[in-house]
Amino acid sequence: MKVDNIYKEEKKSVFKKVSEVIITMASRPSGFIGLSILVFHIILAFISPYIAPYDFKAVNPTLMLQAPSAEYWFGTDDLGRDVFTRTILGGRTALTITFFGSLIALLWGGLLGIFCGLVGGKIDDIVMRIVDAFLSIPWILAMLLIVSLLGTSTEVLIPALGFFYGKGIVRVARAATHDVIAKDFIVSARARGHSNLSIIWNEIIPNVRDAIFVEGAMRWSWMLLGFSSLSFLGFGVSPPTPDWGLMISNARGLMSFAYWAVIAPIVGLSSLIIGINLTADAFAKALGIDRSTKAPV
Amino acid sequence: MLFLIIKRILLGFITLFIVSLITFVGTEILPGDACTTYLERQAFGEQLEACYRRLGLNVPAYERYVSWAVNAIQGDFGYSLSGEMPIKEVLGPRIKNSLVLASAAIFIGIPIALILGIVTALWRDKLPDVAISTVTIFAMTIPEFISATLLILIIAIWLEWLPGVVIVPTDVSFLKLLPNIILPVIAIAMIMTAHMARMVRSSVIQVMASEYVQMAILKGVPYWKMVFKHVLPNALLPAINVVALTIAWLLGGVVVTEVVFNYPGLGRLVIESISNRDLPTVQALAIILASIYVSINLLADLMTLMLNPRLKTLQIRK
């Protein structure tokens, strides 16, 4: 009976904590704007297939490069496809891939970082050397290598992005673990004879969780940046999938007389990235973590 | 002190060694190799054998790595696949062009970032801070290819002030290059400046809240004297390291910007060589870019060491 009660209370407090964090985030103007943009994009990603007025891959040579009109709100592109349809659908791939990518990054980066911080010694040294080496390869070169090695399907892009953006989380998780490792409750857990696994799960994770989540939120926006750059360079998703980066690079050559085909995806992508960034910033502030002195690695 | 410097340099070399291993293994497991790409349909029998012998691909992988590494240390990266010319010669002018671009962006960006960062910190939460901070958030979050595309659309196409695409041969003289690089430099400097301005801002704010600055205020030190004598030297020190990391991170952005402006630099070479499966060039580029990253960071560490007497006796952070 008593155990049951404790369990319920814990459940409730987690839910309460989350809603409190969200309320704190929304109480700042920048956090509120960021959250609204992000929520708008997420809802749009879910409903866009049902509200899209045209088929995103319907090519119509008689309607090439039409200016925006009542019929085609954002005009048409060089193949006569409706730009409005392609723009509202253009965030789905990017959002899905980068969201799951950052989850993977969080998981492996966080766990490896905690592990290294806990065991220390030789293993820690070796892993950190390798992480440093990966950090010093420019992200674009590494991503291009991975993509040309394994192809550009979703099943490749998610783990590839997750792997590549997780290495920075390793450092953050390790540093956060170092901060708690010398505290009394860890020492007493060890004295009680708890295993490393139990210490990680019950003592360390609750204390480093916030820092890792904030880092993961930040990674999400960088990953989106990286992913759309890849698409822009022609190494991301393949046509005719509607994707903002791809749309911008396709329409760029013709923008001297069909600027609408470039502006629409630019607005879509910029607003999403800004939304995620503001949200991540507000998230960090709501949890009381100062990220402003961190370099974007 | 000396020991610390030597240790940092050694660690840098170890990092480069691991990078070379990673890229070598990475390019090694790419499907196909230099010969099958080069010969395409004729990749069998006698010709394939001859090609393997010519490029030295018929020896085990570790032997190739050792000979490649020995040559690379001497600056010889072998032959590129597509042009069949020494990679050294392909790289030379490209490195020069990219250096011009990057250093122009850095020389414009750093002073502006310092001024903006200091102004926003000193007028914290007032109008200048709110205005500048909002602009920097936009500038640092929008991807380079978007800001570059918008710059071309507005300044080159609508206003027709500057050329939008760089159409010059790879080995052009500096003066002819100059009008062409204005837009790319703005595109790169914008995002870099925004990042650095934010770091300088928070660094200055931290120092302003410290006890010795409070003490100086209480002692009645004039405001600007305090800012220049007590705050800035202490605030800019920690910023050096972060700025170095940012510059290194922006190497990726330089690649994208060069592609957008069709600029004949290292970045476009990265894309070209990966599209063409020109593996020897990819390896050379990986090592060169990683060395740039490592040396920028090393330089930042050394600068912090030189400028901060407190660190001379301490072990700097790992």
Q: Is A137 on the interface with B (CB under 8 A)?
A: yes
Whether residue B199 has pLDDT greater than 60: yes
CA distance, residue A29 to nearest chain B CA (Å): 12
Confidence band for A146, pLDDT divided at 50, 70 and 90: confident
Of B153, B202, B246, the CB nearest to A259: B153
Closest CA in chain A for residue B15: A133
Contacts of B153 in chain A (CB under 8 A): 255, 259, 262
Whole-prediction pTM? 0.81
Of B31, B270, B277, the CB nearest to A141: B270
Instruction: Report the pLDDT value the prediction gives residue B54, as an integer from 0 to 100.
Output: 63
In chain B, where the domains are located: 2-73, 93-317
As a whole number, mean pLDDT of residues B19-23 equals 79
As a whole number, mean pLDDT of residues A158-169 equals 86
Contacts of A233 in chain B (CB under 8 A): 256, 259, 271
User: What rounded mean pLDDT belongs to chain B?
Assistant: 77
Domain A23-286 has CATH 1.20.1250.20: no
Confidence band for B52, pLDDT divided at 50, 70 and 90: low
CA distance, residue B230 to nearest chain A CA (Å): 20
Q: Is A275 on the interface with B (CB under 8 A)?
A: no
Maximum mean pLDDT: which of A16-30, A100-114, B290-304? A100-114
Q: Is A274 on the interface with B (CB under 8 A)?
A: yes
Does residue A122 contact residue A69 with C-beta atoms inside 8 Å? Answer: no
Question: B222: which DSSP letter?
Answer: -
Of B141, B157, B202, the CB nearest to A277: B141
Instruction: Report the pLDDT value the prediction gives residue B169, as an integer from 0 to 100.
Output: 65
As a whole number, mean pLDDT of residues A239-248 equals 82
Whether residue B92 has pLDDT greater than 60: yes
In chain A, where the domains are located: 23-286
> What would the pLDDT profile of A42-84 be if each residue is shown by its tens digit?
988 888 888 777 777 777 777 776 777 767 777 777 777 777 8
C-alpha A128, offset from chain centre: 23
Maximum mean pLDDT: which of B42-46, B214-218, B307-311? B214-218
User: What rounded mean pLDDT belongs to chain A?
Assistant: 80
Out of A134-138, A274-278, B50-54, B85-89, pick the least confident: B50-54
Closest CA in chain A for residue B199: A293
Here the ipTM equals: 0.77
Closest CA in chain B for residue A255: B153
Out of A127-136, B6-15, B49-58, pick the least confident: B49-58
A228/B143 CB distance under 8 A? yes
Q: How far apart are CA B91 and CA B87, in angstroms?
A: 6
> What would the pLDDT profile of A260-279 be if each residue is shown by its tens digit?
778 888 888 888 988 888 88
As a whole number, mean pLDDT of residues B170-193 equals 77
Closest CA in chain B for residue A273: B141
Q: How many CB pairs under 8 A join A and B?
A: 144
Contacts of A225 in chain B (CB under 8 A): 141, 143
Whether residue B317 has pLDDT greater than 50: no
As a whole number, mean pLDDT of residues B152-163 equals 78
B150/A232 CB distance under 8 A? no
Q: How far apart are CA B289 and CA B284, in angstroms?
A: 9
Does residue B1 contact residue B312 with C-beta atoms inside 8 Å? Answer: yes
If one looks up domain B93-317 in CATH, what number appears? Answer: 1.10.3720.10
